[in-house]
Structure 1
């Protein structure tokens, strides 16, 4: 009964419109329907369609039971005539950032990485010329300007004369000689400030202009923080050389090898972050330019037969990084100035055991720290560790090359870019090994030592570039799959508009793309 009276009430409200539609001739109905909904025949009016439609189900509840009864035609008509109260689904949220970053961001990142590469090499020169302790204060803003007058130069020189390095090593240094080492350190610090500003300002611009994806925006902000943290580590390192020596008062003043290695490692990580993200953006654009061909390439890269090779490249990158950090310990302890021969160290391949694990470096009575302190603070053992790691790295690179050369399946599956990457890493490791041995034999001359440090970063760069050619980029693979799905959906839509021939032409175009 409720459904019946509801239908009657709705019918009464809609009676004027229904009368105009049900009791008008066919021609007049078509003329009136021009600005409104057009019906092909009188039988398609809502009034008649309500009686032909399948009865909807309605559930009535009472205090004891619930029954399901079909709605009457009039009740169905009232629901179709009544106002549409169904809430529309909210539109899908779209990010203000694009899916892919602009290519200009990639070129800027690679340029910033090249600048970091340069400052790492220049920092090595600053250490080799013993110029790092010439500026005894850290003034991030006012220190950007060098001394302009003789009075200011005398003030800076007075601060340096109070340092342990001047008192114990350079007590006869003149003002002109001080200026030479001061300019080296000042250029090094100014270069760091330039890198910070040339990265911070473009980062703010690219994010504000939405030229980068949301993920890349977070990465750029993280690199900015890393650059600022690198400056703090640099002063923390210099500060260690302006106080008492690491081992005993009165010995050779130098910065802490721990802090020097931390400063070097942070610079390497900052460089790798810029390099990797720049390469990732370019690779993503290259893959999205031709989704069909890129899908085949990604499928080949994901082949299980290359799983061992991909993991080996990742392990090699870690090994190269650790070897470079051990070189930082060698530099911090001046360990390259002892045992200047290769492959022997004295009378054998290793120094005597007593020299390698000397109790002098232990700081506790029970000598529980004997092993790790000798490994990190004993120059003889630190040099031996670096030799072992360098030899292991060289062997690992050659083994990886042999694996790609003499394994038929891996050789067939590797892309041309990956094969070139392997050859490049082989050339770099030979160059680095040659530089390391000659630096040791010639008592660490400044040019060779600086080239050896640059070679370590170059070898790490080659390994990461090789990894970018064999590691599967998950996000780029997902975007490629989305582009292919969109192209497939567009080809299906072409069938509805232009028939099967259009579908065939669309699929042919996708395959050719």
Structure 2
């Protein structure tokens, strides 16, 4: 017969286990290999930066049209014999760039520009391979964090699109009888613009994966909405300036009017709309394109000052530092841009100008991220 129990008896004495708190439930089931995925994306980010630099050097050395065919698979191998080299050179001789501009070239000269373009395309293949190995590896191992499969696939899809746009750009210069000696500048702008979009997407994902989900959820409550909006506007403004810079590079407009702040002794260059129809001047008139690039740069710098002053008022020290870094990098970029103009855009300074644009873009993205997900600072600092 069971014994009677007192209503005042401590139930803990009967061996009943108390529930144990389980911290980190927000991240449980979401984690995956966050650190591994982040490192992989950081590698891709670095490769894209190198790709932008190599692409810029390919443009500055007038090497982009040296390979006149798009062979995504077989093109991975360079010419392996004297006959192969001669065949490549003969194909190059058929396009307008050689007929109009480079008839002086011998096979040795052709090889020097061929290697730049081949290296550019090869690096694109390497980036695609690194993405594919990483994505498939994490997917098969089921280590992709929850909600990230689509995001990581997007990176690869954008990379594939970039390859197609690259050939779309090159094909505009592979002409016969049209007098084209360069690729279309607006296609170059699309190609470079997408490279910066890919860089921005990867960078944003790297920032997100650098903090746990629960931390991001808490930080989002302290989002500085106005500062986030201003930094978003600055990011878009900088992107516009990058596109205009690509138009400048596409027609070698940076080598015209090597003086500052005036252009040939006047504020607006002579005959800014001499090409007919008028709209073509915004893409093909070196004076007008460089003038637009200068004016947009001035306006971007003024707007950056406004954003910087607002960023200095942030309650979070990391956010304030991020906006200080943006303003410092943009100030440096203005100086480099002026020096590029004064020296007629030599490749050494021109490529520095392009890499500085990558730095500015990344730092703006970082400041924008910290506006959306600020890092809390204790009262004691």
TM-score range, shorter chain: 0.7 to 0.9
| 1:399 equivalent in structure 2 | 306
Deviation at 1:40, TM superposition (A): 6.9
Superposition deviation, residue 285 in structure 1: 5.8
Task: Note if contact 1:196-1:224 (Cα within 8 Å) is conserved in structure 2.
Answer: yes
Counterpart selection for 1:99 from 26, 30, 35:
30
Match of 1:72 in 2: none
Find the residue that maps to 1:283 and give its secondary structure. coil
Structure 2: how far apart are the matches of 1:285 and 1:112?
23
Q: Tell me which of 227, 250, 273 is aligned to 1:309.
A: 227
- The aligned residue for residue 287 of structure 1 is 215
Give the Cα–Cα distance (whole angstroms) in 2 for the partners of residues 447 and 231 of structure 1.
Answer: 26
Residue 269 in 1 paired to residue 197 in 2?
Answer: yes
Contact kept, 8 Å, 1:112 with 1:195, in 2: the verdict is yes
Q: Counterparts in 2 of 1:357-368, with a 5 A limit?
A: 357-358=273-274, 360-362=275-277
TM-score by length of structure 1 reads 0.65
Normalization by structure 2: what TM-score?
0.87
C-alpha distance in 2 between matches for 1:256 and 1:199: 29
CA RMSD of aligned residues (A): 2.2
2:110 aligned with 1:110: no
Alpha-carbon displacement from aligned partner over 1:229-277 (angstroms, at most 9, x marks no partner): 11111111111111158xxx44x61100111111111111111111111
Q: Say which SS state the counterpart of residue 361 (structure 1) adopts.
A: coil
- Residues 389 and 244 (structure 1), Cα distance of their counterparts in 2 relative to 1, 3 Å cut: farther
Counterpart pick for 1:356 among 272, 280, 301: 272
- For 1:442, the equivalent position in structure 2 comes to 343
Q: Using the alignment, how far apart are the partners of 1:382 and 1:244 within structure 2?
A: 27
Q: Which residue of 2 aligns with 1:381?
A: 288
Are 1:100 and 1:281, in contact at CA under 8 Å, matched by a contact in 2?
no
How far 1:402 sits from its partner (Å)?
2.7
Q: Whose Rg is larger?
A: 1
Pick one of 337, 351, 361 that aligns with 2:255.
Answer: 337
Q: How does 1:71-470 map to 2 (within 5 A)?
A: 98-101=29-32, 102-243=34-175, 249-250=178-179, 253-284=181-212, 287=215, 295=218, 297-299=219-221, 301-302=222-223, 306-352=224-270, 355-358=271-274, 360-362=275-277, 370=278, 372-405=279-312, 410-411=313-314, 413=315, 415-470=316-371
Distance 2:249 2:214 in 1: 41
Higher relative contact order (CA 8 A, sep 6+): 2
Contact 1:106 1:282 in 2 (8 A): yes
Per the TM alignment, residue 309 of structure 1 is displaced from its structure 2 partner at its CA by: 1.8
Deviation at 1:434, TM superposition (A): 1.1
Aligned length: 352
SS class of match (2:268): coil
| SS of equivalent to 1:172 | coil
Q: 1:116 to 1:286 in 2, by over 3 A?
A: farther
- Deviation (angstroms), 1:185: 0.8
1:384 Cα shift?
1.3
Q: What are the within-5 Å matches in structure 2 for residues 482-493 of structure 1?
A: none
The 3 A distance-change label for structure 1 pair 356 and 103 is: same
Deviation at 1:105, TM superposition (A): 0.4
1:173, CA displacement in angstroms?
0.8
Give unpaired runs (5+ residues) of structure 1. 1-26, 31-38, 42-96, 289-293, 363-369, 474-513
Question: Contact 2:38/2:206 (CA < 8 Å) preserved in 1?
Answer: yes
